[in-house]
Structure 1
């Protein structure tokens, strides 16, 4: 693949501390752009780095430059949402020599109203395989392996979790893909996406909307996820839900004072005392009305 002269078209893989990233996700294997390595990278990333929007709730922004992503997701061992996870993962793929294109998706989660294209994904090819793979490392609940972008893909398993991929066409005849996931309500359309190439500057625009707009759910309450091969934990405001591959769920309402402990022990996110206090203040403000006691 020829690298364009304009670095805006790249994902700055040359500047990535690859050793630190691979250590962060616990990857031990061949550093080659093969399908086996891609599968191992996706599984390691999705089951290690949490999904979180806490910086927004704490009153800070979400920078997407590579140094900021490395500092937060690697050195501070924090998590991030789709733009952060995909930006870091893309830098690693570029450094390892994969051919890939970024894409945007519209998160639906069963909704019928049109939503903005604010989800980041990657379309990847491996050096030893002719197929095209969807890598969705930034959604917060898998899939924990690449998904072949094939028109007849239909239902498939990723570990014990069940998914379905369907291809239709958009208003101008382009491919429109829908990824479904099985859960407590049966099959739910998770998001749609097209193969239109996206670049870092496009994600910067979407990131601004998601992190600042009053219409963005991520700007209104904490939303944190921790995905494992056997269970998915989600914190939505102060509601902690654990979902399992068979569709069953456990749900618990937390006190604000419990959040730092649950974030650390369940979601692998450790806040310092100042941030824990700021989170409690944010949740007990007029936008939430939750008592900190």
Structure 2
């Protein structure tokens, strides 16, 4: 069996109409599609084609940054479609991978795309440690082709959909990605670094239920060993730079592999969140971020 056939068979559509299911286990019917599209600035065709998928991914990423402010402040919210719409669309915030891709999946399904949700094992260049499935990602069928469409990985995530054809590359700005099939069950998203291909994460086509995502989110948002609890994090990938904010430290990675690091004051962190990361913070939220950061010592000069 060919690799392409394996993936396509694993994601056979259950619907290809422009209307959301009457009752979806993922709550797709609770999405206000018009409000979502207006928030990201999309006014193009609503047919579920490759061009539509690409534009939607690009605009979603431009509108919403990866961020875990609520998790860092020990105030994680629910991950229902309605609550995510309120947080992203109405309040102008972003979210973690699970929040981002659940909202994006609901919008795609409402437009008639066939979407499958997956939980992936983050690698970030480390192939030796078998980590638990903490990252949510999507595969989407468009024009009889299958794509990885991920708006939730932050700095290293793809800016356009990536075809699930081993070795086929997608380049946006200075960055290049591909998806390879590692074995019968494992697909790997890879990003090209100056020293070669970098494993971002690995995923498979086993069935993922809402309860699986709930458990992964609960660990991510509450467990003391989670990399996001007890820290304020924001990430953003753009055409020619990748930004990672963690507490008071802002790192900027360039296509040549160099990285700049800047230590910030609490006021500067709030300004970066509102500016570079395009987040709307209320006065209460900004004050909570400053208070949290005031308890920490800067990690550098």
**How far apart, in 1, do the equivalents of 2:85 and 2:117 lie?**
19
**How far apart, in 1, do the equivalents of 2:33 and 2:48 lie?**
14
Determine whether 1:71 maps to 2:108: no
Question: 2:93, 2:281 within 8 Å by CA — same for their partners in 1?
Answer: no
Match of 2:78, SS? coil
**Residue 163 of structure 1: aligned partner:** 177
**How far apart, in 2, do the equivalents of 1:116 and 1:159 lie?**
32
**How far apart, in 2, do the equivalents of 1:219 and 1:259 lie?**
18
Question: 1:47, 1:226 within 8 Å by CA — same for their partners in 2?
Answer: no
Tell me: CA distance 1:277–1:183, structure 2 relative to 1, closer, same or farther (3 Å). farther
Tell me the number of residue pairs that the alignment of Structure 1 and Structure 2 aligns.
281
Determine whether 1:120 maps to 2:136: yes
Task: Give CA deviations for 1:57-115 in whole Å, capped at 9, x if unaligned.
Answer: 22212310111101111000100011111111111111111112111111111233221
Question: 1:144, 1:158 within 8 Å by CA — same for their partners in 2?
Answer: yes
**Residue 56 of structure 1: aligned partner:** 71
Q: CA deviation at 1:290?
A: 4.5
> In the TM superposition, what are the counterparts of 1:98-247 in structure 2 within 5 Å?
98-111=113-126, 112-126=128-142, 129-141=143-155, 142-153=157-168, 155-169=169-183, 174-183=184-193, 186-247=196-257
**Residue 35 of structure 1: aligned partner:** 50
**Residue 3 of structure 2: aligned partner:** none
**How far apart, in 2, do the equivalents of 1:210 and 1:115 lie?**
13
**Residue 266 of structure 1: aligned partner:** 276
Q: CA RMSD in A?
A: 2.3
**116-125 or 244-253, larger mean C-alpha shift:** 244-253
Tell me: CA distance 1:5–1:235, structure 2 relative to 1, closer, same or farther (3 Å). closer
Structure 1 spans left out of the alignment, 5+ residues: none
Tell me: CA distance 1:189–1:132, structure 2 relative to 1, closer, same or farther (3 Å). same
Q: CA deviation at 1:249?
A: 3.0
Match of 1:72, SS? helix
Q: CA deviation at 1:272?
A: 2.5
Give the structure-1-normalised TM-score: 0.88
Question: 1:57, 1:279 within 8 Å by CA — same for their partners in 2?
Answer: no
Give the structure-2-normalised TM-score: 0.86
Determine whether 1:249 maps to 2:259: yes
Q: CA deviation at 1:35?
A: 1.2
Match of 2:145, SS? coil
Question: 2:72, 2:233 within 8 Å by CA — same for their partners in 1?
Answer: no
Question: 2:31, 2:81 within 8 Å by CA — same for their partners in 1?
Answer: yes
**How far apart, in 2, do the equivalents of 1:25 and 1:199 lie?**
27
Determine whether 1:91 maps to 2:106: yes
Task: Give CA deviations for 1:233-276 in whole Å, capped at 9, x if unaligned.
Answer: 21022111222334333321112232111211111123223222
Q: CA deviation at 1:202?
A: 1.6
Determine whether 1:81 maps to 2:96: yes
Match of 1:279, SS? helix
Q: CA deviation at 1:2?
A: 4.2
Q: CA deviation at 1:184?
A: 6.3
Question: 1:183, 1:248 within 8 Å by CA — same for their partners in 2?
Answer: no
**79-88 or 267-276, larger mean C-alpha shift:** 267-276
Question: 1:11, 1:90 within 8 Å by CA — same for their partners in 2?
Answer: no
